[in-house]
Amino acid sequence: MCKVYKILEDQASLFPRQIPSLPPYWQKFMYEVVAMVKLVGIPASFMTLSCADLRWPELFQIIGNTQVLDLTEEKIEAKSYNERCSMLNFNPAIVAKHFQLKVETFFTEVLLTKVNPIGIIVFYALYFEFKVQGSPHLH
């Protein structure tokens, strides 16, 4: 019986490594980045990408669709800064997912193409964070 408990205990300790934002996840992330540095050397570039969420009308249209609102670009532009901020703050999961999709598109359609606009990318690590007002950004 103790042997079964031991197996479950081992599995339970590995489970948090798969959940982003938990300490075991970031510990694993750190080990992977250290391994990359040892393998290919110190990174040649560092960039920060910020979310221009207030300037993405399609994001407000997506949020509007979840609330059965028909938001045209004119209606979005007519909203005040505070109204737009409220829409974003009340829908953080949609904002984060939209930003993630934009970042993935930027990497696949620009940075990782054969054109190599910033040079050949061998390895990269992405670290998402959220600003005080809730907007995501990454390093």
pLDDT value at position 112? 92
Residues 60-73, mean pLDDT to the nearest whole number: 89
Question: Does the pLDDT value for residue 109 go beyond 50?
Answer: yes
Phi-psi region of 132 (alpha: psi -120 to 50; beta: other; left: phi over 0): alpha
pLDDT value at position 95? 92
pLDDT in tens, 21-66: 677 777 888 888 888 889 888 888 888 888 888 999 999 999 999 9
* Sheet architecture: strand order including 128-130: 49-50, 136-138, 128-130
In percent, how much of the chain has pLDDT > 70?
85
Question: Does the pLDDT value for residue 11 go beyond 80?
Answer: no
Q: Running DSSP on this structure, what letter comes out for residue 119? A: B
Strand residues in 8-50 grouped as ranges (E): 49-50
Question: Does the pLDDT value for residue 1 go beyond 60?
Answer: no
* Per-residue tokens: 40: 């290919």
Instruction: Name 128's bridge partners.
Output: 138
Written as one string, the DSSP assignment of 89-109 is HT-HHHHHHHHHHHHHHHIII
